[in-house]
Structure 1
Amino acid sequence: MTGKVWKTGFEIELLAPRGKTRADLAYAIAAKHGGSVNRMFYPQSEPSLAPSVQVFENLILGFDAVDESGNRVALCVDDLTINADLNRSAPPLEGWMRIVSDDGRLLSLVSKVCDPDASIEDVLKPVSNLFNTPLESEGGIFKASDEKKRPIALATGLPGERERPCEIITAPLEDNREGILGELLGTAKALGFVIPKEAAVHVHFDAERLCDARVLSRLIYCLAKHGKALRAHVGTNPNCVRLGPIATNLIELASDEAFLKSGWDEARQMLLACKPTKYCDFNFLNIAAGLDAKHTFEVRIFPGSIDADEVCGFANLFERILTWAVDQDRPACPDTIERFL
């Protein structure tokens, strides 16, 4: 069990030079594989400034670079946390837009019926047709509402150079990840992409071998114990947002005898009841949710990088930690980070 390679997916935040966009990177990647690029909507959330709404859900423009067989090589999307290096007063580029809603369920429906290749004037027409209501527009903002005038979604241009941030999302990798990342990041560097001020690298590890209450208990306990030291060890970017320590209730769950004695289905429900969040140093939400499409444990503390060897080093470090957690014959978590690593 411990000798297996962990299947990993990488999210690497970069910034295009002025005059280039994340679409340019997607097309350059696809060209190297004899493939093509599919324009798509990609979901992201951001805190709301409106007092009655906690979160705004977004559909942002993504560009899916596929090879000649139609398999994903990399997905290039926006990251709404990247702001410091952008000209916030820059007008939107022609054809660039986002769709916003205060309800993620409605936005999921929107993504199924709306065409990302449509113009901003027409993109929400399928939603208006579903509700048999007119599409409203004012000041370049297009709004679809239901029959009671309750807003469903807004489509608006994408000002502030939001075409420049690029989060490269890889397909899950097992073999030759150094070579694959080297090609992707080499293509980005050749186009002039750089590391933005708030950048991070996120690594998703396949969660199959972590689906055991005692394994998760070991992992949670040691990450809580050595979380700050691990941040210092990898050099977490102090400008990176949406990070934070493991929640107290998760740490308490890790030592709960009922949790430790439970089968995985029951343990997962107990984990889910703790309401884990994505936006922390170590993301247990995907394991708790049990979603087939993203059944991963995510590490979010790594600093931004455009160097494939460094990014692979991040993954190798945490593979050793996960292998220790899975192998319950190994000793308990040491007191110091030096002994642990």
Structure 2
Amino acid sequence: MGVEIELMAPPGRSRSTLATDLADRYGGQVRAVWHHDSEPSLVPGLGRFLHLTQGFEVRRPDGSLLCTLVDDVTLLAGLDPRTPPPPGWHRILSDDSRLIRLIERHSDPAAPLDTALSAVAELWGSTVEQLGAVRRLNDATGATIALAAPQGGERERPCEIVTPPLATDHLTALEELLAPARELGFTVPHEAAVHLHVDAGPFHQPHALANLVRLFAHWREPLRAVLQTNPACTRLAPLPAPLVQAVEGTPAWEQLAEAAEAAELTKFFDVNLTQLFREVPIRDTVEIRILPGAIHGADIVHRAALVELLLDRCAEPQPVPVPPADPAAATNALLDLAAGALATQP
């Protein structure tokens, strides 16, 4: 299981503060990294910019990964957009996903704004132009390749903790990260969620994937009630209709894949199934996105245990049933599904 935990640093501190604290506590090292996401564009005709923002990888003394700390663009409440950027904080923007991946490979996230695009400019045989606080890289025809710009608006404060896969002793591993965050004054943001990444292996079987779709489609409201999903959390949505319709019978894998393609499946649903349908997955996981924000490991572990039981039920050959119409009865029936899965464990 891997976990993503959205937190907010107090004013005057940042995800870099937490990274340094963790490295100092455990005798490890911090390395700056780039984090991919997107933001709305103010350019007419361009819906969004892809961007790279500064994150931090914390490694233990033996070199193994402790965690990665990155920005999350959905965390906005309590941030002052008028705040000027602290020294050293900037982002890189482009409108092409292939370019942004190439820029990531050739730009040092620890470098200052002035040189953020220098190595990339050499690839194109071009030079970086300064436009006020912004650095712009054009190709030989004058087409813009990328911009580097200061990162203001307190965007250094949002901090998503991304763990490596945790095989055992989940509570201890989470508290290793969250206890220091609490001591530094980090809090749970208004829009926060916790995301669980679980092994996708069982869900490459069509019956298990069909059950997973049934669980998150038909049991959506009971799941949100039991897990206490944050209503302020964005980038959540019911699974798309073509995929839900595909599990009404006993679909083969090809039918599920066709339905996912027809639905233009993205990660921004209650459960992220996109990696199941990639020829070469970035990581072979299913991402559960509806857990509420938390800053105590016990809260995460308790909810994750319930999710794990429900996923075990999905792996069984029998179809997941439709819930009762009454909300209270549906909630109880969901807990019964989990209890039934627990009872079958050796």
Question: Aligned partners of 1:231 and 1:312: how far apart in 2?
Answer: 17
Question: Aligned partners of 1:261 and 1:157: how far apart in 2?
Answer: 50
CA contact (8 A) 1:272 1:289 kept: no
1:116-135 to 2 correspondence within 5 Å? 116-135=109-128
Question: Aligned partners of 2:299 and 2:190: how far apart in 1?
Answer: 18
Corresponding position: 1:191 with 2:205: no
What secondary structure sits across from 1:137 in the alignment?
strand
Is the alpha carbon distance of 1:55 and 1:309 closer, same or farther for their aligned partners in structure 2, counting shifts above 3 Å? same
Is the alpha carbon distance of 1:135 and 1:243 closer, same or farther for their aligned partners in structure 2, counting shifts above 3 Å? same
Which one of 283, 297, 312 corresponds to residue 301 of structure 2? 312
Question: Aligned partners of 2:224 and 2:62: how far apart in 1?
Answer: 40
1:1-341 to 2 correspondence within 5 Å? 8-255=1-248, 257=250, 260-262=251-253, 268=257, 271-329=260-318, 332=321, 334-335=323-324, 336-341=330-335
What secondary structure sits across from 1:108 in the alignment?
helix
Question: Aligned partners of 1:293 and 1:174: how far apart in 2?
Answer: 19
Q: C-alpha displacement at 1:120, in angstroms?
A: 0.5
CA contact (8 A) 1:333 1:340 kept: no
How many positions carry a matched residue from both structures? 330
Unaligned residue ranges in structure 2 (runs of 5+): 325-329, 336-346
Counting aligned pairs with the same residue, the percent is 36
Question: Aligned partners of 2:137 and 2:247: how far apart in 1?
Answer: 46
Question: Aligned partners of 2:262 and 2:165: how far apart in 1?
Answer: 28
Question: Aligned partners of 2:63 and 2:257: how far apart in 1?
Answer: 34
Question: Aligned partners of 1:300 and 1:15: how far apart in 2?
Answer: 18
Q: C-alpha displacement at 1:142, in angstroms?
A: 0.5
RMSD between aligned residues: 1.8
Greater shift, 247-256 or 34-43, is seen at: 247-256
Q: C-alpha displacement at 1:292, in angstroms?
A: 3.9
Is the alpha carbon distance of 1:233 and 1:74 closer, same or farther for their aligned partners in structure 2, counting shifts above 3 Å? same
What secondary structure sits across from 2:100 in the alignment?
helix
Letter in 2 for 1:340: L
Question: Aligned partners of 1:230 and 1:238: how far apart in 2?
Answer: 13
CA contact (8 A) 2:138 2:145 kept: yes
Cα displacement string for residues 218-265 of structure 1 (whole angstroms, at most 9, x for unaligned residues): 1101210111221122222122111111110110222355xx2347xx
What secondary structure sits across from 2:115 in the alignment?
coil
Is the alpha carbon distance of 1:236 and 1:262 closer, same or farther for their aligned partners in structure 2, counting shifts above 3 Å? closer
What secondary structure sits across from 1:121 in the alignment?
helix
Greater shift, 60-69 or 124-133, is seen at: 124-133
Question: Aligned partners of 1:102 and 1:228: how far apart in 2?
Answer: 37
Q: C-alpha displacement at 1:55, in angstroms?
A: 2.6
CA contact (8 A) 2:2 2:198 kept: yes
Question: Aligned partners of 1:314 and 1:185: how far apart in 2?
Answer: 16
